[in-house]
Amino acid sequence: MLDFFMGSGTTLSTSLKLNRRFIGVEQMDLQFEIAVHRLLDAIDGKQSGISKEVNWQGGGSFVSCELKEDGQTLIDAIQASDDTTISKIKDRIYQDERIVPYLTTQELEKVDNAFEKLDINDKKRVLIELVDKNKLYVNYSSIDDEDYDVSDEDKSFSRSFYEGVR
């Protein structure tokens, strides 16, 4: 079972109780923590949902993983910037390959005067829009690329996860 928006973990908890494999994806930290708590409660045998119907007594396990960030680090830097650091961040982003591919550095430099007149929140919004959202995280196919600095431990885990999948 694949749940792209695991929210509070209801579907994952039900899958666990039905002895089914599952993958949950969650982008929001708070929701992720709620889902993990719910799964731990299910493992401990807490009675909720379909527990009585399936005579759930607890047990099972799960593994949680976090994707290795790539372009997301640019967004984090933008969000953490202030009036004194935003220009340095902008210059860094203009030179980065993780911005949307159809913009050239020359095109970006043409709008610098307009950029400087924006308030800090608008500057952040504009720069975040430049980040290519398809490059927020490192793809599995790129884990051996030294530029991403993926640890041997993370490579081993990723390979074990995809083992037998073609």
Radius of gyration of the chain (CA): 21
Per domain, the residue ranges of the chain are: 1-64, 68-166
Q: In this predicted structure, what is the pLDDT of residue 69? A: 87
Q: In this predicted structure, what is the pLDDT of residue 30? A: 93
Measured from the Cβ of residue 72, the count of other Cβ atoms closer than 10 Å reads: 17
Q: pLDDT truncated to tens, each residue of the chain (166 aa)?
A: 999 999 999 999 999 999 999 999 998 889 999 999 999 999 999 999 999 999 999 999 999 988 888 988 899 999 999 999 999 999 888 888 888 877 777 788 888 888 889 999 999 999 999 898 888 899 899 999 998 889 999 999 889 887 766 5
Q: Angle at Cα 151 formed by Cα 161 and Cα 4, nearest 5°?
A: 40
d(CA 85, CA 108): 18
Q: In this predicted structure, what is the pLDDT of residue 27? A: 85
Q: In this predicted structure, what is the pLDDT of residue 166? A: 56
Backbone φ, ψ for residue 32 (5° rounding): -60, -45
d(CA 24, CA 33): 12
**Residues ≥6 apart with Cβ < 8 Å to 98:** 70, 71, 74, 131, 132, 135
Q: In this predicted structure, what is the pLDDT of residue 77? A: 94
